[in-house]
Each structure stands twice: as C-alpha cells, then as structure tokens.
Structure 1
Amino acid sequence: MASWRLEENIQRDMEKAQEAVELYGGHVLKAPNRYEIRTGVVVAARFADKLRRTAFAVFGGVVPREEIVRATSELNRKIYEKLISMGVGKLDIVRITVEASVEGGRLVFGEPKIEWFIPHTALEKKLEECEKKMGEVRQKIEALLRELP
C-alpha cells in the first residue's frame, strides 16, 4: 500500500524519476535552461505523480527537492482546475506538456498544454446523436418548406 507521508513519497518519486529517465525520457531540452516536460499518455488521476517525477528527474541536481515539491504542487493545482473546467474525468486519458526553467533558484513552469483523448466509442455515440438531431431538423425544415405557397 502506498504511503501518504511526504518524505516517503518524495523518496519514492526520486527513485521513480530515475527509472522514468532511463525508460522514457519525459523531457526535452528546448534551449539552455529551458525544458519541455511531458507526462506521456496517462490516466488523468495520475498526472500529478508523472509531472513531479519528471521534474525530479530533470531538476533534481539543480534545485532543492523542497522547491520541486512546491513548484509542482502549484502546477498540479492549476492543471487540476483546468481538467475540471474541461470536464475531464479521473479515468480519462490525457497528455500534459509544460515548459519549465530555473530562474533565480526557483523552478518556474509555463502554461500547461492538455491533450484529452476521447475514446472512439464515445465519439461514435456523439456522432450518432448529432446525425439523429440533424435528421429531425431536416424534417422540420422540409415540412415548413411544404407549407410555403
């Protein structure tokens, strides 16, 4: 069972961060001191862990871990609010990309880009609903046109 103690979570994240770097990369150097951090495709409920671990992997030797925790917490709160306003569910699939840099010893994140992957079956259902509605509208228009002299 996962621990909820901050110190144990940070240690686990640092271990997972090294694993993520070795397996996935998770970041791209865009310019000197400017990185693009990516979650990859994840279940929305897990985005925060992925971002924090990637931040530890990229900035672990550059800024104190407390700064990484602080900055990613603020970023995660911002992303969470965006996900809620978009209507993204906990089990929906997303990919999050954000630029990050170190400025004056502080970790600074740019505006996150959120991609929401909608299942094919959900799109088919919406399409069927739209086609049905369009058929109804078409019938009403044709009926109105027949009534005209």
Structure 2
Amino acid sequence: MAAWKLEENIQRDMEKAQESIELYGGHVLKAPNKYEIRTGVVVAARFADKLRRTAFAVFGGIVPREEIVRATSELNKKIYEALISMGVGKLDIVRITVEAAVEGGRLIFGEPKIEWFVPHSEMQKRLEECEKRFAEIRKRIESLLKEIP
C-alpha cells in the first residue's frame, strides 16, 4: 500500500471536492460564515474522506488548506470515537451532519450528528428479541400481582 502523502492527498481531495460540489452539494449555508456540512449516506469506514472533501469544497477559498486538514482531523477523531462507542462497524451505513463556522481564520466544528442505518433484517431480529424480553417481563409482573393479597 502506498504511503500517505499530505500534498498528494490534499490535491486529490480538492479534485474530489469540486466533483462533490457539482454532483451533490453536501452543504447548506445557514448564516454568514455558518454552514452545515453532510457526508450523505456512506460506509462508516469512508466518513473521514467524505467530510474532509466536503470541507475542502466549502472552505477551500476561505481558509488555508492546512487549517482544513487540522480541523477535519480533530473532527474525524471525535466522530471515530463516537462511532466506536456506539458499536458501529466499518461496513455499517451512516450519515454525519455537522455545523461549521469560520472564526478568526480558523475552522470551528460543532457537535456532529451521527445517524446509523441498520438493515431491516437486523431490526427485525432486534424487535423479536425485545418482544421476547417484554413477554418475559409481563409474565413476571403477572406472577407478582397474583402473590399480592
């Protein structure tokens, strides 16, 4: 596997950012210097690339490239930790939305909103487990109520 090189990856991200603007948008202007950026629906393992490219698309002409790399790197670490704590797998489908602003030449991100899309088959399995557990609890309550004089 090729080594990660900052300049090559920034150039690739900027090219992909332009493509992203033309095809998907990926951001909403909420107020002067305040944006909402979105990954769209992506495989969890690819969220960082998508966020960084969207940030380049939105902020490329506003803040220096190094600032975009720094800020998105910090955001990606935060999101990665959240995904791990939620139990999201690398191949699970997620959508991430985060507000961003430029303040004093720095890119500031708010708290990310993470949506985790669970396949229907998995939800069906979870629902069946919940229904089984609920039936057990109901039986225990009914049994306890019978013991009350």
TM-score by length of 2: 0.91
Q: CA deviation at 1:148?
A: 6.4
Give the 3-state SS of the residue equivalent to 1:91 in structure 2: coil
- 2-side partners of 1:112 and 1:147: how far apart? 50
- 1-side partners of 2:14 and 2:3: how far apart? 14
Give the 3-state SS of the residue equivalent to 1:35 in structure 2: strand
Equivalent AA in structure 1 for residue 123 of structure 2:
L
Partner residue in 2 for 1:114: 114
In the alignment of these two chains, the number of paired residues is: 149
Instruction: Name which of structure 1's ranges 135-144 and 32-41 shifts more when overlaid on structure 2.
Output: 135-144
Q: What whole-Å deviation, never above 9, does each CA across 1:69-93 have from its counterpart, x for those lacking one?
A: 0010001011111111111111111
1:1-149 counterparts in 2 under 5 A? 4-143=4-143
Change (3 A) 1:82 1:89: same
Equivalent AA in structure 1 for residue 35 of structure 2:
Y
Equivalent AA in structure 2 for residue 80 of structure 1:
Y
**5+ unaligned residues in a row in structure 1: which ranges?**
none
Q: CA deviation at 1:2?
A: 6.5
Percent identity between matched residues is 83
Structure 1 moving runs of 4+ over 6 Å = none
**5+ unaligned residues in a row in structure 2: which ranges?**
none
TM-score by length of 1: 0.91
- 2-side partners of 1:33 and 1:146: how far apart? 64
Q: CA deviation at 1:135?
A: 2.5
- 1-side partners of 2:75 and 2:90: how far apart? 18
Q: CA deviation at 1:134?
A: 2.4
Equivalent AA in structure 2 for residue 83 of structure 1:
L
Give the 3-state SS of the residue equivalent to 2:39 in structure 1: strand
